[in-house]
Amino acid sequence: MSLFEHHEFDNHKEVVFCNDEKSGLKAIIAVHNTNLGPSLGGCRMFPYANSGEALTDVLRLSKGMTYKAAMANLNQGGGKAVIIGDPRTQKSRDMFLALGDFIERLGGDYITAEDSGVAVSDLHATAERTQYVSGIKAKFTYDGSPADGNPAPGTAYGVFVGLKTTVEYALHSSLDGVKVAIQGLGHVGYRLAKHLRDAGAELYVTDIFPEQLEKAREELGATVVQPNDIYGLDVDVFAPCALGAILNDNTIPQIKAKVIAGAANNQLAREALGSVLRSKGICYAPDYVINAGGIIDIYHQTQDGTPDDLRKHLESIGDTLREIYIRADETDQANNLVANVIAEERFNK
Ligand code: NAD
C-alpha cells in the first residue's frame, strides 16, 4: 500500500495511522489542508475490508472537507478520521479515549466531530482526552428553538436558502407555486419540505418509509410518488435528500426539472456529469456547497456568537451559489467544476 503515489493522495499535510493494542483501535487520521485554519471533519467508523480501503476513504473525504470549509466561508481546513471496525459490535469507550490521545498529539491540526457509525456519546469519551472535539455541546440553533446538537435543522435551512437562490437565478421566480420533487424525507428532507411549503411551493415527495410519506401528505399537503417515479416528474426543481450518486446515466435522461438542489452528499456519480447537466440547461447546486449548513452550525457551537450570526452565515450559502452560477455562465463551465476552482482559489491563496 503506497501513500504518496496513492490515486487519492492530493498533497495531504499529514496522514496518521493510529494503532492502540489495548483497546483494539485501528484508525487513520488525514489532515488535507490547514491553510485557512485547523482541519475539521467527522470521524467515521466502518467495517472496511482492509486498511487500503480505509486509506482511500480518508484521503478522499478529508480533501472534500477542505473544499467544503472554503466554500462555507469558514476559517478552517479539511480533515477526517476513519476507524476500522463494525460500529454495531466493535465499539468501546477505551477505543474513543485512545482516539482522543492520538488527536491531542496532532496539537490542534485536526478537530473531530461525529460521522456515520460514530455518535455524539462516543465522542464524549474522546473529549476526555483532547480539547479538539466539536459538535458535542450545542448552545443554540439558528431560529432560537431548543438546541439538541443535531445539525440537520441548520443543513435544511441552508439547503432551503440555496434552493431559493437557485430558483431565483435560473428560473427568475420566487418559490410561490414552484413545483419541487423531494427524494428522501429524513432529518433534512422533511425540514426542507416544511420550509418550502411555508414559501408556497407545491411538493412532490418520495421515501422508502411510508410513515414519513403519510405525514407529509397530511401535514404539508404533499403529493406522494413511488421512489422510481421521482426523477421523471414534470416539476421545476429536483431536491435529492437521500442517496449519493443519484445523478447518473440512468436518472439524468429522465429529469425534467431545470434546477437540481438538495442535501445529499456526492450526488454526481462522476464529476463529468456536471457538464451533461449544463448542456441540458439544468442548473445544479453543487452538493458540498448547498449542504454546508451542518458544518456551519457545528462551527458556531464552538464560537461566542449568537443565533443571528449563525442564521446569517447559513444564508451566505445563497451568495456563494450565486457567485458560482455567474462565473459558470461567464466561462461556460459546469457549476461543480467552477465551485472546485473557487474553493481552490480560497484555500490556496
Ligand atoms: P436520513 O437518513 O435522516 O434521511 C434519508 C431519507 O432518505 C430517509 O428517510 C430514507 O428512508 C430515505 N431514502 C433512502 N433511500 C431512499 C430511496 N431509494 N428513495 C427515496 N428515499 C430514500 O439522512 P439525512 O440526515 O436527512 O441526510 C440526507 C442526505 O443529506 C444524506 O445524503 C446526507 O449525507 C446528507 N447530508 C446530511 C446532513 C445533516 O446535517 N444531516 C448534512 C450534510 C449532508
Give the CATH number for residue 300.
Answer: 3.40.50.720
Query: Are residues 101 and 175 both part of a single domain?
Result: no
- Provide mean pLDDT across the span 257-268: 97
Q: Is the pLDDT of residue 1 over 80?
A: no
**Domain range spanning residue 285?**
152-347
- Residues 130-157: tens digit of each pLDDT: 999 998 888 899 998 888 888 899 999 9
User: Residue 104 C-alpha to ligand 1 middle, in angstroms?
Assistant: 32
Domain count, the chain: 2
Facing residues of 182 across strands? Answer: 205, 239
Query: Are residues 253 and 339 both part of a single domain?
Result: yes
Q: Is the pLDDT of residue 344 over 90?
A: yes
- Residues 77-107: tens digit of each pLDDT: 999 999 999 999 999 999 999 999 999 999 9
Query: Are residues 200 and 333 both part of a single domain?
Result: yes
- Provide mean pLDDT across the span 49-74: 97
Query: Are residues 261 and 336 both part of a single domain?
Result: yes
Phi and psi at residue 44, in whole multiples of 5°? Answer: -110, 140
Residues with CB under 6 A from ligand 1: 151-152, 155, 183-189, 206-209, 212, 227, 241-243, 263-265, 291, 294
Asked whether residue 121 is assigned to any structural domain, the reply reads yes
Asked whether residue 215 is assigned to any structural domain, the reply reads yes
The pLDDT assigned to 184 comes to: 97
Query: Are residues 109 and 187 both part of a single domain?
Result: no
Predicted TM-score (pTM) above 0.75: yes
pLDDT band (50, 70, 90) for residue 288: very high
Q: Report which protein residue has its CA nearest ligand 1's atom 14.
A: 242
| Mean of pLDDT over the chain | 96
Asked whether residue 321 is assigned to any structural domain, the reply reads yes
Q: Is the pLDDT of residue 294 over 90?
A: yes
| Percent of the residues in the chain that have a pLDDT greater than 70, as a whole number | 100
Q: Is the pLDDT of residue 316 over 90?
A: yes
Decide if 266 contacts 290 (C-beta within 8 A).
no
Query: Are residues 103 and 156 both part of a single domain?
Result: no
pLDDT band (50, 70, 90) for residue 185: very high
| Percent of the residues in the chain that have a pLDDT greater than 90, as a whole number | 92
Q: Where are the alpha helices (DSSP H) in the chain?
A: 51-71, 93-105, 120-126, 152-171, 187-198, 210-220, 273-279, 287-290, 293-301, 307-331, 335-348
Catalytic residue selected from 13, 63, 68, 80? 80
Query: Are residues 164 and 285 both part of a single domain?
Result: yes
* Selection from 275, 282, 269, 254 nearest residue 336 by Cα: 275
- Residues 25-39: tens digit of each pLDDT: 999 999 999 999 999
Query: Are residues 173 and 315 both part of a single domain?
Result: yes
Asked whether residue 69 is assigned to any structural domain, the reply reads no
- Provide mean pLDDT across the span 68-84: 97
Q: Is the pLDDT of residue 56 over 80?
A: yes
- Provide mean pLDDT across the span 213-223: 98
80 part of the active site: yes
